[in-house]
Amino acid sequence: MTIKKWGRDMLDSYLSQGRSLYFHEYISLVSMNCDEKTVIEMAKRFCDQTMIEDNWIVGMEFFYMNGNMREVDKLIERNKQSGRDSNQSFATVYQVMVDLKRNLLSPPTAIELLDSVKINSPALYCIVTLAKVSIHYSTHQFAALGYYIDKINQYLNQINNPLLVTLYKVRMDALLFIYYWKRNELILGRKHAFRAIKQTFHLQRKFIAFIHL
């Protein structure tokens, strides 16, 4: 049996039995047996099939951080159609980030849209704030993270999903790398760059971080 078939069979077995399987559980299992490319492919299959709405939220962050924008687009639409306010709010945030990446929004407009999101969970606070910091960075306001870092860490400790926490910490490390690099604090910058490289599957992100070490 190939690794991919093993992963597919495991997923199909859970679904056929009506058992709940969370995204972080599935990723943890397949990561022990699969290479990075295979994990991404298995994650796509999982998110196409899961009906657990929390998984749709975590899936957006997973694919966004790993550069799979097509999957992000698909999950944004699923979250928009959810009956839960939280899913719709997360969809708004990721739509802003995607539109900004595609130069469909200006930074000031993106900030306005993020400010309009009603914060109702620690995870939503973290992603909205981290997105805002990234936007500030794009306009060369590199001190922005310093205003938010303590509160972000406070809310990170309140998030129950371990994969989401890990992904948000990757964002934090990437932002801290730039923050310290711009302040010419290279030792601290390298520390956060290495941590970000270790945790993400996104090869382009790894390369960009590596060339600045």
* CA distance linking residue 56 with residue 47, whole number of Å: 7
pLDDT single digits (tens) 72-94 = 999 999 999 999 999 999 999 99
Confidence of residue 206 (pLDDT cuts 50, 70, 90): very low
* CA distance linking residue 103 with residue 129, whole number of Å: 20
Residue carrying structure tokens 């049996």: 1
* CA distance linking residue 176 with residue 193, whole number of Å: 8
SS3 195: helix
Q: Are 74 and 81 in contact (CB under 8 A)?
A: no
* CA distance linking residue 38 with residue 56, whole number of Å: 20
Confidence of residue 50 (pLDDT cuts 50, 70, 90): very high
Return the pLDDT at 75: 98
Q: Are 177 and 193 in contact (CB under 8 A)?
A: yes
Give this prediction's pTM.
Answer: 0.84
Nearest one of 135, 101, 85, 99 to 115, comparing CA atoms: 135
pLDDT single digits (tens) 142-181 = 787 788 888 999 999 999 999 999 999 988 888 888 776 6
* CA distance linking residue 163 with residue 10, whole number of Å: 20
